[in-house]
């Protein structure tokens, strides 16, 4: 299968649904062999089946990014299945935990803080990059792409641990870029704004600080595919912002506050 990712082997964390699924399917469509990962086997197998039906190459491995041994094993399984690893996409995040623990920072328990940071930063980026590193260093055109959030650069009430973890993703990515230079490993971040679960056109601007329509998963998949491909060979240590203009819009915070108030 030809395309901008031909000859690449990609491991995509959290790729059984939403943004991760679109990333996995798009990288496969562009020619990469893709390891689809997540906690739900049935969902993962459906993604693999869709990729294969479209003529792509993929397999599934169960992954829990809060378990270091699980991360290590999935990296090894990917290399064993496809003969190497060129592309690591750190997409997983404990979204259910984040959504269920929205409150002022002082009310978070240490256990809640640790769960969010482990799932978002420690396991998803640190462990994954640590165990993928020797394989990426042995590959040609290796790349790490990590998914961040607008919360990495803007403050939102109730999301302290998640915002801190996503800001950490950007800082760690810059370190990976510097350390990876001698090994031919590039590292970049995609900073994501609000994205709806469905695909295709998400409609027009409807507030919430965006200057365009609400995002859809393919908007992010296209950004990831660019950074992961050799077309971005001169790009490392960078943040590609795909947020519909939220982060540059002076009205964004006010709109976000209004949306939060309307949501009750």
What does each of the 264 residues of the chain score in pLDDT, given as a tens digit? 679 999 999 999 999 999 999 999 999 999 999 999 999 999 999 999 999 999 999 999 999 999 999 999 999 999 999 999 999 999 998 877 777 889 999 999 999 999 999 999 999 999 999 999 999 999 999 999 999 988 888 788 888 999 999 999 999 999 999 999 999 999 999 999 888 875 444 445 455 566 778 889 999 999 999 999 999 999 999 999 998 888 787 665 555 444 433 322
- Where do the DSSP E strands lie in 111-171? 142-149
**pLDDT score recorded for residue 251:** 65
At 264 the pLDDT is: 29
What pLDDT, on a 0 to 100 scale, did the predictor assign at position 139? Answer: 97
| 8 contact partners, CB below 8 Å, separation of at least 6 | 27, 31, 32, 33, 86, 87, 141, 228, 229
User: Are 240 and 188 a contacting pair, CB within 8 Å?
Assistant: yes
**Can you tell me the distance from the alpha carbon of 206 to that of 225, in angstroms, rounded to the nearest whole number?**
27
Reported as type and span, the H/E element at residue 135 is helix 128-137
pLDDT for 206: 55
Instruction: Please name the residue that has the structure tokens 């920072």.
Output: 105
Residues 21, 14: Cα–Cα separation, whole Å: 8
CB atoms within 10 A of CB 189: 29
Q: Which pLDDT score, from 0 to 100, does residue 162 have?
A: 92
How buried is residue 98: exposed, middle or buried, by Cβ count under 10 Å (0-12/13-18/19+)? buried
Catalytic residue status for 222 = no
* β-sheet with 239-242: strand ranges across: 57-62, 33-38, 9-12, 87-90, 142-149, 185-192, 239-242
Quick check: 106 and 162 in contact, CB under 8 A?
no
Please tell me what DSSP assigns to residue 194: -
User: Which pLDDT score is estimated for 87?
Assistant: 98
Residue 199 gets the label, from left (phi > 0), alpha (psi -120 to 50) or beta, of beta
Contact by Cβ (8 Å): 90, 144: yes
Torsion of the alpha carbons at 46, 47, 50 and 53, rounded to the nearest 10: -90
By DSSP bridging, strand 87-90 and strand 57-62 are unpaired
Consecutive H or E run containing 11: strand 9-12
What count of other Cβ atoms lies within 10 Å of the Cβ of residue 105?
13
Catalytic residue among 108, 131, 162, 222: 162
| Topology, domain 9-262 | Rossmann fold (3.40.50)
């Amino acid at each position: 299968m030809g395309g901008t990712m031909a000859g690449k082997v990609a491991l995509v964390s959290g790729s059984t649904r939403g943004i991760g699924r679109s990333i996995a399917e798009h990288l496969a469509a562009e020619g990469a062999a893709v390891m689809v990962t997540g906690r739900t086997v049935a969902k993962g197998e459906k993604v693999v089946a869709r990729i294969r039906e479209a003529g792509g190459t993929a397999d599934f491995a169960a992954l829990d990014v809060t378990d270091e041994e699980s991360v290590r094993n999935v990296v090894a399984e990917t290399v064993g299945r496809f003969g190497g690893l060129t592309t690591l996409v750190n997409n997983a995040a404990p979204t259910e935990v984040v959504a269920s623990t929205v409150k002022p920072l002082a009310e978070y328990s240490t256990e809640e803080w640790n769960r969010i940071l482990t799932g978002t930063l420690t396991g998803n980026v640190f462990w994954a990059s640590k165990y993928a590193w020797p394989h990426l260093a042995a590959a040609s055109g290796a790349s790490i792409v990590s998914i961040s959030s607008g919360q990495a650069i803007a403050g939102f009430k109730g999301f302290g641990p998640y915002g801190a973890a996503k800001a950490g993703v950007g800082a760690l990515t810059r370190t990976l870029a510097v350390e990876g230079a001698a090994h031919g490993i590039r590292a970049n971040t995609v900073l994501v704004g609000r994205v709806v679960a469905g695909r295709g056109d998400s409609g027009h601007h409807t507030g919430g600080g965006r200057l365009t329509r609400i995002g859809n998963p393919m908007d992010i998949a296209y950004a990831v595919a660019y950074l992961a491909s050799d077309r971005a060979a001169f790009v490392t240590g960078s943040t590609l912002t795909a947020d519909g203009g939220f982060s540059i819009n002076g009205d964004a915070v006010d709109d976000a506050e209004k949306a939060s108030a309307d949501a009750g």
